[in-house]
Amino acid sequence: MIGKSLQITTIRNHLAQVARFNTHVLITGETGTGKELAAEMLHATSPRCNHPFISFNCAAIPDSLIESELFGHEKGVFTGAECKREGLFAAASGGTVFLDEIGEMPLSGQAKILRVLETRQIQRLGSPRSHPVDVRIVAATNQNLEERVAQGQFRRDLYYRLNVARIHLPPLRKRKDDIPPLIEHFIHMFNGQMGRHVVGLEPDVHDCLMEYDWPGNVRELKNVLEATFLTVQSSRIRFKDLPADCQVTFTHKLDRPRIEREKLLSALLTTNWNKTNAAKQLHWSRMTVYRKMAIYSIKQPMFGTKV
């Protein structure tokens, strides 16, 4: 888990503490923040590290197949079941099952997971018998489970079972100190994978990557750099080496303050520096006008109207 921010340092320490115990864990955070990586770290530093880590995306499997995938099935129990099959829980015996996007799991599947948590047993589809299973469950979601519980879309009892040890991964826009070490890590990784010899970024590219809010978080940053490595020819990444859509996005973001400053200055000039009228013209509050004037270093001339 790459990063030097206080948030990431705290999360790493918390992961190390939680990993020692057999408690089930709920990991929350936006898409692309590294929830599966956190789950892998939990497993790798736990007493279960010598046993399997099995990942299951609850949103990627049709409702009708979830039970068979997780718990297995007997031969002939449905069309196409030509032989008995062990499910993911049996395959992960002694290890960890990572249930990604648990908030997307249908209520019927949630009931089955709850039963495993309560009884520590699984039952193959079509089998009359239950079998003991020893796994740790780590669940993750990018949704607000409290809201889904209130809406009746997520079982309250399952929520309480999972929400014992909770780890929240903050978005990249709230820990921008982690962007430089992440960039360094990905450059090193892609140099090795693609046989490149990139040593860093040009200053304007660095500024763009630091200013951008990264709605796709670490995953988006990784994808942008990977796409850049496909075509970069120099030892330092230049603005023109970035993917075309990124160039458009970054240019727009860099231009926005300049455009906003020009709009504010125009409104102040056309209203003879009347802040109240300028605010109305811009559909801002009067306090916003004062705040933006300070941000953009706009000072009223001595002869302007002081309202």
CA distances from 270 to 111, 273, 281, 306 (A): 65, 8, 10, 14
What b/e readout covers 248-262, taking b as 16+ CB neighbours within 10 angstroms?
eebeeeeeeeeeebe
227: its two tokens: 């796409």
User: Domain 174-242 is in which class?
Assistant: mainly alpha
The domain spans of the chain are 6-170, 174-242, 249-295
Question: How far apart, in whole angstroms, are the C-alpha atoms of residue 221 and residue 237?
Answer: 14
Going residue by residue through the chain (307 aa), what tens digit of pLDDT does each one get?
Answer: 899 999 999 999 999 999 999 999 999 999 999 999 999 999 999 999 999 999 999 988 888 788 888 888 777 667 776 777 788 999 999 999 999 999 999 998 999 999 999 999 988 877 778 889 999 999 999 999 999 999 999 999 999 999 999 999 999 999 999 999 999 999 999 999 999 999 999 988 988 899 888 999 999 999 999 999 999 989 999 999 999 988 888 877 665 666 678 888 888 988 989 999 999 888 888 888 898 888 878 888 865 445 4
Question: How far apart, in whole angstroms, are the C-alpha atoms of residue 87 and residue 126?
Answer: 13
27: its two tokens: 């990991």
CATH topology assigned to domain 249-295: Arc Repressor Mutant, subunit A (1.10.10)
CA 220 to chain centre: 10
User: Residue 9: CA atoms inside 13 Å, Cβ hemisphere, count?
Assistant: 5
Which pLDDT belongs to residue 30? 95
- Parallel, antiparallel, or unpaired for β 25-29 and 165-169? parallel
Question: How far apart, in whole angstroms, are the C-alpha atoms of residue 51 and residue 54?
Answer: 10
Under 8 Å CB-to-CB from 224, ≥6 apart: which residues? 209, 242, 243, 246
Which pLDDT belongs to residue 305? 47
CATH (residue range 6-170): 3.40.50.300
Under 8 Å CB-to-CB from 283, ≥6 apart: which residues? none
Question: How far apart, in whole angstroms, are the C-alpha atoms of residue 156 and residue 161?
Answer: 9
